[in-house]
């Protein structure tokens, strides 16, 4: 496991701490430009698992589809 700069993909095993927190590996944070304090969107499906993505692409999509709805999360 690890990063593959040519393909733009990364995989790692992380552990859940006692408070339910995980650490996003440095390589993944750099790849996706995730800075301390960044807001991320957690998507969960009982059968497919959990995905964590930057919220900006979803915010842009919502703004484009529903321009009259402006709510900061």
- The domain segmentation of the chain, as residue ranges, is 24-73
Predicted TM-score (pTM) of the model is 0.65
C-alpha 17/C-alpha 2 separation (Å) is 21
pLDDT digits (tens, 9 = 90+) for 55-71: 877 777 777 777 766 55
User: Quick one: which of 45, 44, 41, 65 has its CA closest to 54?
Assistant: 41
Q: CATH number of the domain at 24-73, out of 2.60.120, 3.40.50, 2.10.260, 2.60.40? A: 2.10.260
Q: Which residues contact 5 (CB under 8 A, 6 or more apart)?
A: none
Low-confidence residues in the chain, pLDDT < 50: none
Whole-number pLDDT of residue 63: 75
Whole-number pLDDT of residue 70: 59
Which H helix or E strand runs over 9?
Answer: strand 9-11
Whole-number pLDDT of residue 3: 52
When the pLDDT of each residue in the chain is averaged and rounded to a whole number, the result is 83
């Amino acid at each position: 496991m690890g990063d593959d700069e040519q393909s733009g993909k990364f995989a790692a095993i992380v552990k859940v701490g006692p408070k339910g927190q995980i650490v996003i590996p440095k390589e993944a944070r750099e790849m996706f430009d995730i800075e301390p304090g960044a807001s991320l969107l957690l998507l969960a499906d009982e059968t497919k698992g959990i995905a964590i993505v930057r919220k900006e692409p979803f915010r842009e999509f919502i703004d484009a589809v529903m321009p009259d709805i402006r709510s900061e999360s």
